[in-house]
Structure 1
Amino acid sequence: MSEIEFYVPAMHCAHCIHTIKMELHELNGVRAVEADLSSKKVRVQYEAPATPESIEKLLVEINYPPQKA
């Protein structure tokens, strides 16, 4: 299993965290999602077929464009 962390500056509240977690968990291969509002970081544990690129693409699609942490 792999892990990647993103800095998501558009994350501002508990609803943002909920949305990010719900959407990422629907991506095949994503095993765990942790989000920290104070640091605006999202940590994702994943395995194939999920990739860092597919995770980042989904975050952009749901209007939470990330920057790699």
Structure 2
Amino acid sequence: MSTATYTVTGMTCQHCVASVTEEVGELDGVTGVEVDLPTGAVTVTSDAPVADDAVRSAVEEAGYQLA
């Protein structure tokens, strides 16, 4: 089990949270995504470490940026 936390900028509402959760959650091996809207913290839990570039791409696909 692996856990990594990222900071995402640009999220302002629950729709933002849902978009990021959905995109990151579709990455191979990801078993959980928790988003804290006030801080922008996104915690990704996975079977094995997920490449930072893959998380960045998923966040950008959702319309946001990693800080």
TM range (shorter): 0.7 to 0.9
1:28 aligns with 2:17: no
Deviation at 1:22, TM superposition (A): 1.3
Q: Identity across aligned pairs (percent)?
A: 33
Unaligned runs of 5+ in 2: none
Where do 4+ consecutive residues of structure 1 move more than 4 Å? none
CA distance in 2, matches of 1:32, 1:40: 16
**Structure 1 contact 28–49 (Cα < 8 Å) conserved:** no
TM-score by length of 2: 0.83
RMSD after superposition: 1.6
Unaligned runs of 5+ in 1: none
Q: How many residues align?
A: 67
